[in-house]
Amino acid sequence: MEVIGAEDPYIGLSLLTQHTFDLIILDLTLPGMDGLEVIPKIRDISNIPIIISSARDDITDKVIGMERGADDYMPKPYDPRELVTRIKTILRRTHNIEEKKEKKEELFIIDSKAREIRFKGHSLELTAAEFDILHMLIQHKNGSVSREQLLYESEHIDDDSSIKNIDVIISRIRQKIAKIDSNNIYIKPIRGIGYLLTDRI
C-alpha cells in the first residue's frame, strides 16, 4: 500500500482533486477544521471510501461521522493489522461494485462463436460483412479505424470492392442500431480517415 499523508485538511482536499486515491483514512482532530466537517466536503467531490481513525471514541462522533458519509470508524488505539484488514475489506467491496457497474454499462457485447453482436441487450440482425465491420469497430472502441482497414481485414468483403462500399455498410449498421436507440450516434465519421465507435454518450 502506498500512503500519502496530509497534515492539513485543506491540503488533503486539494490532493483529492489532483490525484486518484482508493481510500481515505481520516483523523478527526485536525488543524483549522474538525474532521467531521471534512467528510461532507469530501463527499461533494468524491465517493471515495473513508475510514475514520480517531482517539475520540464518543459514540456521537461515530454516529455523526457515519451519517455524513464515512464507511467505517476505528477508535484509537487499535492493532494496525485490523486497519489493514478493514481497508482490504472495503476495497474488495467497492472494486466489486465498480466491476459490476462496468459490465452493466457495456453497450456492445460480442459473441464471436455465434457471430452475434448485442446492443443494449438486443441482438442486431447483421449480415456477415456488417458483423465484420462492427466487430472491428468495437475492438477499437473510442479509437479511429480507417476505411482501408475495415475493407481489407473483413473476411466477407471482396478485395475488389470500393472504399465507398464501407460507407454503405456503415450506414446500414447505423440504421439497425438506431432502431434500438435513435437518440445517439455511436458510429462517427473521422474526416479523411474512417470511422470511430464510441460509448461515451
The CATH number that applies at residue 24 is 3.40.50.2300
Q: What residues make up the domain containing 139?
A: 108-197
Domain-located, residue 3: no
pLDDT at 18: 83
88, 128: one domain: no
Residue 192: left (phi > 0), alpha (psi -120 to 50), or beta?
A: left
Distance CA 104, CA 80 (A): 36
How many domains does the chain divide into? 2
75, 125: one domain: no
Q: What is this structure's pTM? A: 0.50
147, 174: one domain: yes
CATH of the domain at 186: 1.10.10.10
70, 128: one domain: no
Domain-located, residue 17: yes
pLDDT at 99: 63
pLDDT at 158: 76
According to DSSP, the residues that pair with 26 across neighbouring strands are 52
Distance CA 15, CA 13 (A): 5
* Identity at 170, one-letter amino acid code: I
28, 97: one domain: yes
**Residue ranges for the chain with pLDDT beneath 50:** none
Domain-located, residue 4: no
pLDDT at 171: 96
pLDDT at 57: 84
Residues recorded for the chain? 201
Q: What is the DSSP track for the chain?
A: ------SSHHHHHHHHHHS--S-EEE-S--SSS-HHHHHHHHHHH----EEEEES---HHHHHHHHHTT-SEEEESS--HHHHHHHHHHHHHHHHHHHHHHHHHT--EEEETTTTEEEETTEE----HHHHHHHHHHHHTTTSEEEHHHHHHS-TTS-TTS-THHHHHHHHHHHHHHHTT--S---EEEETTTEEEE----
pLDDT at 157: 84
118, 176: one domain: yes
pLDDT at 55: 93
175, 99: one domain: no
25, 92: one domain: yes
Longest CA span, the chain:
79
Last residue of a domain, one of 40, 70, 104: 104
Last residue of a domain, one of 38, 71, 104: 104
130, 177: one domain: yes
* Identity at 145, one-letter amino acid code: V
30, 70: one domain: yes
